[in-house]
């Protein structure tokens, strides 16, 4: 038993050699239940509380927000669980398995989208962790200036990059620790602020329109599970082929959604009880949550905030490195992860020290990427559902193989669905994206100032369009491949 523990520790502290390659059957290990740890650890951030204020910002009531949250969060992580099935069946990264639908070179388009999304979100999470530390330290009187931000950035950056470079075994161990520590401290936080909840105030919030509820639902889908679908198979690929498919889907969905659902509901109660707090969260999503805490819990709050954000950034940097490799960068996986780490730190330095107003613009850009990633997700779901056999793994790396070089139908579907989707969404976070929503008037939805303007139907349209076109147009190609 001692020898086994020592072997596991050695693996965790060594650089993973796997990259885009197929994981050999001898190296595939574990049970579907182990997927709970990385997905829970990546989504147990106190940032989930702030989404309560964001949801109420759509002008809806508490119960409407709860319904939108339950559907949006659980359904979006169910999409992750379904795509995770491809990892078990193909034992390669998500952006390699995507080649079966798009072709070996045709898959460079979704790989680019995936890289932008993952490296972008890991940068945003690092920025939030750095700013949260500075905010809390300033309240403690320990200084919240440049030096504090530099130290926070170094700690967060080293934790994230180290996990990304060393790879899967360390990530799994780190996420287990993050899950336990963050889970316990989050419960303590909820207990400490429970007296600030006022049900009378919360229950008096009036109902909003159906369009507003749909807008909140889509926003929560994009902010949670839909932002992870392009990484869903990166961790299930290590499981043995005989692993339960229901277990892969179930544990991924449960691990990813359970913390956000609890935190969102509590965040709705907290933000709904205080209009001032709700407005403060909009300006400082993490720091505002510490405003009413007793002084003795501020340091533990920093720990829970930083670890929760690092948990998400760790999964992002691992998958962003794989996406960079799938784009064709001729380096080892750990080098790609290190490159992404440099981009992440450089972006954080710029926003924290030179471009504070850029954060909202950048978040708007990332939310905009929810449309093309939804189209890709729909195509992948249809492709996975159509397959009756495991992937021909060698052909995932050969343009002359059965999956082909460029499969134009899914490539064009992503482009067309994205064009339609961007025409049916609006974005107030980024001033340079005001051109979106150009189809709202043409299809009779009232234009950019109409009641449907912020329903963000474009994300749902892209998801459904991708699935339908691939299911009916791409299924014959799948049959030929498997024959």
How confident is the model over 205-214, as pLDDT tens digits?
A: 999 999 999 9
Work out the angle between the directed axes of helices 298-326 and 146-166 (0-180°, nearest 10).
50
- Assign 223 to helix, strand or coil: helix
Q: What is the pLDDT of residue 12?
A: 54
Lowest mean pLDDT among 4-13, 327-336, 367-376: 4-13
For residues 247 and 145, what is the distance between their CA atoms, to the nearest angstrom?
47
Lowest mean pLDDT among 93-102, 378-387, 429-438, 453-462: 429-438
Q: What is the pLDDT of residue 33?
A: 95
Averaged pLDDT for residues 123-141:
84
Averaged pLDDT for residues 18-37:
90
Q: What is the pLDDT of residue 459?
A: 94
Q: What is the pLDDT of residue 363?
A: 63
Q: Is the domain defined by 30-358 classed in CATH 1.10.4160.10?
A: yes
- Which value, in Å, is the radius of gyration of the alpha carbons in the chain? 22
Which span out of 43-52, 247-256, 422-431 was modeled with the highest average pLDDT? 247-256
Q: Which residue has the higher pLDDT, 141 or 198?
A: 198
Q: What is the pLDDT of residue 1?
A: 39
Average pLDDT value for the chain: 89
For residues 68 and 235, what is the distance between their CA atoms, to the nearest angstrom?
28
Averaged pLDDT for residues 40-65:
91
| pLDDT-based confidence at residue 100 (cuts at 50, 70, 90) | very high
What letters, b where the CB count within 10 A reaches 16 and e where it falls short, cover 421-443? bbbbbbbeebeebeebbebbeee
Q: What is the pLDDT of residue 9?
A: 45
CA distances from 56 to 21, 281, 427 (A): 44, 12, 17
Q: Which residue has the higher pLDDT, 226 or 366?
A: 226
Is the pLDDT at 455 greater than 70, yes or no?
yes
Percentage of the chain modeled with pLDDT above 90: 54
Contacts of 79 (CB under 8 A, 6+ apart): 225, 226, 229, 232, 377, 381
* CA angle 467–219–258, rounded 5-degree value: 90
Is the pLDDT at 358 greater than 60, yes or no?
no
Averaged pLDDT for residues 124-140:
84
Lowest mean pLDDT among 251-255, 268-272, 395-399, 427-431: 427-431
Is the pLDDT at 357 greater than 80, yes or no?
no
Q: Which two tokens stand for residue 143?
A: 């200084």
CA distances from 163 to 260, 301, 315 (A): 23, 22, 9
Q: What is the pLDDT of residue 351?
A: 84
| pLDDT-based confidence at residue 446 (cuts at 50, 70, 90) | confident
Lowest mean pLDDT among 76-85, 127-136, 409-418: 127-136
Is the pLDDT at 362 greater than 70, yes or no?
no
| pLDDT-based confidence at residue 356 (cuts at 50, 70, 90) | low
Q: What is the pLDDT of residue 359?
A: 54
Q: What is the DSSP letter of 397?
A: G
Percentage of the chain modeled with pLDDT above 70: 95
How confident is the model over 5-21, as pLDDT tens digits?
A: 344 444 556 788 888 99
């Amino acid at each position: 038993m001692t020898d086994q523990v020592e072997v596991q520790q050695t693996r965790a502290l060594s650089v993973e050699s796997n990259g885009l390659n197929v994981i050999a059957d001898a190296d595939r290990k574990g049970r579907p239940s182990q997927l709970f740890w990385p997905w829970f650890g990546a989504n147990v951030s106190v940032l989930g509380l702030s989404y309560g204020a964001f949801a109420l910002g759509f002008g809806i009531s508490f119960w409407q927000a709860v319904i939108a949250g339950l559907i949006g969060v659980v359904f979006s992580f169910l999409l992750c669980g379904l795509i995770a099935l491809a990892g078990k069946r193909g034992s390669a990264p998500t952006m390699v398995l995507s080649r079966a639908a798009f072709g070996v070179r045709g898959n460079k388009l979704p790989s680019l989208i995936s890289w932008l999304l993952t490296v972008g979100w890991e940068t945003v999470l690092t920025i939030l962790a750095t700013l949260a530390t500075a905010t809390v330290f300033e309240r403690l009187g320990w200084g919240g200036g440049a030096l504090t931000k530099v130290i926070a950035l170094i700690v967060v950056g080293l934790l994230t990059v180290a996990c990304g470079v060393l790879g899967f075994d360390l990530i799994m161990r780190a996420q287990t620790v993050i899950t336990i520590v963050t889970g316990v401290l989050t419960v303590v936080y909820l207990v400490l602020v429970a007296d600030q909840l006022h049900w009378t105030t919360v229950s008096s919030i009036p109902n909003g329109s159906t369009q507003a509820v749909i807008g909140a639902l889509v926003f929560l889908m994009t902010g949670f599970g839909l932002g992870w679908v392009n990484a869903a198979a990166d961790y299930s690929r290590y499981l043995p082929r005989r692993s339960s498919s229901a277990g892969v889907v179930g544990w991924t969905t449960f691990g990813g959604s359970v913390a956000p659902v609890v935190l969102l509901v509590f965040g709705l109660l907290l933000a709904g009880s205080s209009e001032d707090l709700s407005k403060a969260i909009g300006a400082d999503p993490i720091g505002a949550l510490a405003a009413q805490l007793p002084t003795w819990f501020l340091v533990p709050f920093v720990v829970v905030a930083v670890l929760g954000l690092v948990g998400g950034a760790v999964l992002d940097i691992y998958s962003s490195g794989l996406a960079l490799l799938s784009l064709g960068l001729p380096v080892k996986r750990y080098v790609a992860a290190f490159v992404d780490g440099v981009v992440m730190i450089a972006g954080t330095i710029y926003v924290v020290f030179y471009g504070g107003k850029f954060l909202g613009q950048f978040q708007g850009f990332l939310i905009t990427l929810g449309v093309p990633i939804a189209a890709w997700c729909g195509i992948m779901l249809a492709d996975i559902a159509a397959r009756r056999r495991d992937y021909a793994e060698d052909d995932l790396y050969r343009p002359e193989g059965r999956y082909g070089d460029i499969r134009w139908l899914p490539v064009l579907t992503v482009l067309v669905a994205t064009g339609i989707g961007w025409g049916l969404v609006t974005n107030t976070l980024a001033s340079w994206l005001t051109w979106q929503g150009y189809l709202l008037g043409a299809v009779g939805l009232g234009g950019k100032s109409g009641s449907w303007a912020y329903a963000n139907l474009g994300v749902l349209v892209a998801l459904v369009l991708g699935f339908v076109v691939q299911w009916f147009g791409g299924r014959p190609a799948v049959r030929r491949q498997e024959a």
